[in-house]
Amino acid sequence: MNSIKHYNTLTEYYQKKYQTKVAKIALNANFTCPNRDGTKGFGGCTYCSKMGSGDTAGNPMHSIAQQFTEMKQVLTKKWPNAAFIPYLQAYSNTYAPLEQLKELYEGILSLDENIIGLAIATRPDCFTDELYAYLEKLNQRIPLTIELGLQSSNEETARKINRCCSNAEFIDCVNHLRKRNIEVVAHIINGLPNETEADMLQTIDFINALDIQGIKIHSLLLLKNTVLYESYQKNPFPIQSLEDYVSITVKQITRLKPSIIIHRLAADGIAEDIVLPKWPLKKLVVMNEIDKRMRKLNIYQGDDFR
């Protein structure tokens, strides 16, 4: 466990694994999703931005190589000796024909000799047997991480946010990936409409029951031009305060399996697009409040794992 943090951080995990500073470079390959194009639904998840939750990723008008180079130039000013993990962030980055995906992934890995891994954000229902087989071989060459959107294990919540993907599909995908020794990171959102503390803790129990290596915990952001914001304007629902978010997130961390790496504890978004709440804009404050609460109570990740 981290000597300063009371939970397993991604920074420390990378340092132990690679013995160097590792920087993730978020890229936008301009994909779509099966619940946007009509395959499973329309409109996407109700909270999702027009950029497919890739608001802080590269400019999709630029090539992947240009996106990578632009961000690398920024990061190397801060960390001159950093290694890199390209991160395909926006939309569903396994939702294309296999040959197109191969060309994309192989092209990314050839961009820089200091690339030491590849992270791919996607949905559990965007895989084929052929893709699983290819990813297994690719993972033998360079470490892969697949990031899967769960958001909540409450399937009624999933229906309301138009996730268009069942818990069973999520479980099946995790099992397929782990059978091939590919690391999995689950994304969850706290503060979804009408979710109770019990719901949010149950989502942690759901993740604990699976062979999952990492987690990203986000607060809900109401963004302009989203279905959820339009719905909120007609029928407002309670929005989490910073205090409520810190309280439930700390409870989730203490309940979380001790071996799971926490990749993120605060949401990212474009400031001018965030309508409510405003407190996530102060990302360091959010993380510091979580740290302060855990130190004050002298509690650690996994204390309440069962």
pLDDT at 208: 98
Q: Quote the pLDDT of residue 55.
A: 67
How many residues would you count in the chain? Answer: 306
The whole-number pLDDT of residue 30 equals 93
Determine what percent of the chain is predicted with pLDDT higher than 90: 92
Q: In terms of Cα–Cα distance, which of 261, 268, 301 is closest to 283?
A: 268
Mean pLDDT of all residues belonging to the chain = 95
Q: Which pLDDT score is estimated for 3?
A: 58
pLDDT average, residue stretch 283-288: 96
pLDDT digits (tens, 9 = 90+) for 226-282: 999 999 999 999 999 999 999 999 999 999 999 999 999 999 888 999 999 999 999
Query: Mean pLDDT: which of 3-17, 40-54, 185-199 is highest?
Result: 185-199
Q: Look up the pTM and report it.
A: 0.96
Q: Which domains does the chain have, with CATH numbers?
A: 10-297 (3.20.20.70)
pLDDT at 50: 75
Q: What is the pLDDT of residues 73-125, one digit of tens each?
A: 999 999 999 999 999 999 999 999 999 999 999 999 999 999 999 999 999 99
Q: Mean pLDDT, to the nearest integer, of 157-174? A: 97
| 270: nearest Cα among 216, 217, 225 | 225
Report pLDDT digits (tens) over 43-77: 999 999 877 566 677 898 999 999 999 999 999 99
pLDDT at 268: 86
What span, in angstroms and rounded, lies between the C-alpha atoms of 111 and 249? 37
User: Residue 49 has what pLDDT?
Assistant: 85
pLDDT the model gives residue 2: 52
Written as six digits, the tokens of 26 are 């978020």
